[in-house]
Chain A
Amino acid sequence: MYTFSSKLKTFSFVLMILGAIGIGVGFWQAPKTIEDVEKILADSHHGHEAAHVEKVAHDTEAHAEPAHSEVAVVDSTKAIVTDSVHATHEAVDSTAVAVAPVADNHDAHKKETVAHEADHDKEHAEHVLHQLQNKPWAALYVACIFFMLISVGVLAFYAIQYAAQAGWSPILFRVMEGITAYLLPGSIIFFILLVAAGMHWNHLFVWMDPNIVDPTHAKFDKLIFLKKGWLSVGRFLATAAIILVVWNWVRFKFRQNSIAQDTATDNAPYKKNFKLAAFFLVFFIVSESIMSWDWIMSVDPHWYSTLFGWYVFASFFVSGITVIAMITLYLKSKGYLEHVNTSHIHDLAKFMFGMSIFWAYLWYSQFMLIWYSNIPEEVTYFVTRIEYYKLPFFGMLAFNLIFPFLILINTDFKRLTWIVVMAGIVILFGHYIDFFNMIMPATVGDQWFIGIPEIGSLFFFLGLFIFVVFSALTKAPIEPKGNPFIEESKHFHY
């Protein structure tokens, strides 16, 4: 039996307390009124010529703004901004190019121009206010969904081991069950966040604003209106509840059967888990796609990508496998899991390597087609990221592809503890940035920075994750017995 070391427990509590303080400070620091924002903007721009350029960029974003409800105007500026990004001109030239036609369009509406300019500053301030108010919520959301999906990824990996009747892995089942224990607390907190969004306590999901689908309202957005059948708060929360309940139920049954197999006289609990795994994997791949549209893609309600579900899956799947490898190595270093040998670590590292490349393949497949076709509705997604999130957007490629590829390609390196742990830390950090890049641009826009709420949220959920996972590991023998493949797993040698 594993005992939760008091050092690690203290560490997890320190993380949670620091994180909770950080989250609190983040909410407290967020501006409350438009006046606060105007002060922030005045401080930061301070006679900056770029202010107008930024305003133009804002107007071209998906957020429906009354002054620019004319689709033609929005689209033409978008297209020009897009092209200018890829043209070889200097950045200064390209923004100038982008601004000029907008000015022309403004001239075309001369009657409105005066009112326009006055409205603009106020609208801009309101827009920034919403973004800054979203910031602590979005930071919380990124950390919450990331750690919850790690446990979901491990659950899927665990189910694959059962469904494939894998012989090498049963020795690691208790580690995987420990990680999936986080699913219950993780999904409860996550569901509360979704309900908070549904109650309009934040503006993470712009489509939840009832005005946006009201044809008589100034904020009316036709594209979101056409998607109203899917994008409704009731449907959204009901789907989330069903998905989370089934995932948690499956996890509960897996664990129950796995414990029962330890003392069983036959393989009945194992067979139940085999059938459950087959059911779960079918349910999972459908529900995983739906959850990725709902919980991640719908923060950009105008944009869609048909392989988004796979892309998100690859991201949290590789993160989950990495966590299995790291926790296994930690337990091994503490003298537990005596039958785990370097061949098991080698296999996990191969999965880390392979899934990192799989993630990069999907990232590139999504990026390349949209970049090449350059359709304004689609390409804004990447324009926003390249213009405002250049470092995290391209930096994550180094973390998630180049580094793991070069370090884990060597067979011998996959068996070295320090290499696997180092690659694991880099992979987890890179995929955290990946989730950051998926949520932040649509919710916080160009107002992002890594501040107290972002670090606080990461700390809080990391602390909670460590606490829940290692508490769960103490509750059952760390090496399962009775699994028909356990002997093969103990003697696994590659």
Chain B
Amino acid sequence: MKLSKFALRGATALAMLAMAVPALAANNSVTLGMVLEPTHLDPTAGAAAAIDEVVYANLYEGLTRIDSKGVVQPALAKSWTVSGDGLTYTFMLEDGVKFHDGTDFNAEDVVFSLNRARGEDSVNAQKALFKAIDTVVAVDASTVKITLSPSNGSMLFNLGWGDAGLVAPESADGNKADPVGTGPFKFVKWVKGDRIELAKSAAYWGDVVVLDKATFKIISDPAAAFAAMMAGDVDGFPNFPAPENLDQFRADPRFSVVVGSTEGETILSINNAKAPFNNVKVRQAISYAINRQSIIDGAMFGNGTPIGSHFAPHHPAYVDLTGAYAYNPEKARALLAEAGFPDGFDAEIKLPPPSYARRGGEIIAADLKKVGINLKIIPVEWGPWVKDVFTETNYDLTIVSHTEPQDIGIYAREKYYFNYKSDAFKGVMDKLNKTTDTDGRYKLLGEAQQILSDDAVNGFLFQLAKTGVWNAKLKGLWENSPVQANDLTGVSWSE
């Protein structure tokens, strides 16, 4: 009797202790789960999406920024003018901006940041964004002039990437571990492997954010992510790792499930230089043989939008080419026969770890088998994938999601792992770089999509979905991810 009373009291105390934590945390703080931990917190020195998912728009800001719809907005540059020839950009900077360490932000910091990103010993993962920049000059403390050579119509968009974030010369070297930016949140602490904590920056130059505190909790296991949501340990997962659990969340009134779009074109990459894939008929046959919807249903539990070229469906310049190679195994077999493979052939497919690749690869192998192409499935880790497939292009087929925003330009690169060579496509890209008016650009982007579809460069599968789950009372998280970000500036609780 005595013992059970004691046990009961102990359990009650324990329960109260545990419950006190979320009760205190509610209202003005938010805890979001993320699957991968950032390797460090300097967005100008690494490609890991997880870095931007923590820091973009929260800790660091650029001259421009990209909003939830993928449109360029002013950030630390309150306005700008572009010369008629598209070669000179003049940016007027916001006044009274301070870095988190208290130092002033001015035009010299812009010059420093951009020169650092494009300099000779730069370790910026997206150095190509700044390729067109010829000079960066501080006209006065709040005016910056950037000259380009040649012109580049996407410069304002490029300057809105996380990799173009503005940093201070005094703190830049320490940003990986102790990030100092100008954003509405400042860095508090990072318990490696567990969480990253941010707090409201009261000295912010713009509208001060509602949240007092934001925590990113690193939970890589899908089952653990589910448990953490159910137990209320986290308030949401902007990218929930297990699409198979989404229906369970949908059925629970405590949660909102929001399926949006990402910049991730998921493609069956084809080595265009290797026989028989150097034959356009073979590639077209593959495009006809793939049943996109069955891949989306089977590998992604129905989350994802079919694509017909390397372009995101939510973008205004998108051209729907999904009908160009509608699922048609008969036609695929006919094309293979025309190409000289009436009995099909054997090939290999190398699959990196993400589930879209591993699950999708099996479905594609089954689809291709129906038209006579026998695939040997080779699962690979990211390390060997980068070496074999990406760098040395020693592969036949692979599946990967290209998550960089508006990256159709990769098809014009001299040396890229698809080994695709098209002067027509390069011509369109050159024109695009010289065009600054929106309508003209959209038209050219449409042409570019059409060329890739005609050449069946890759098997264009689907646009990766952003499967978000969060507390139903949480407002202001992004539905789509036009850039890899968890912008918390507009996040608040509805009560």
Partners in one complex: no
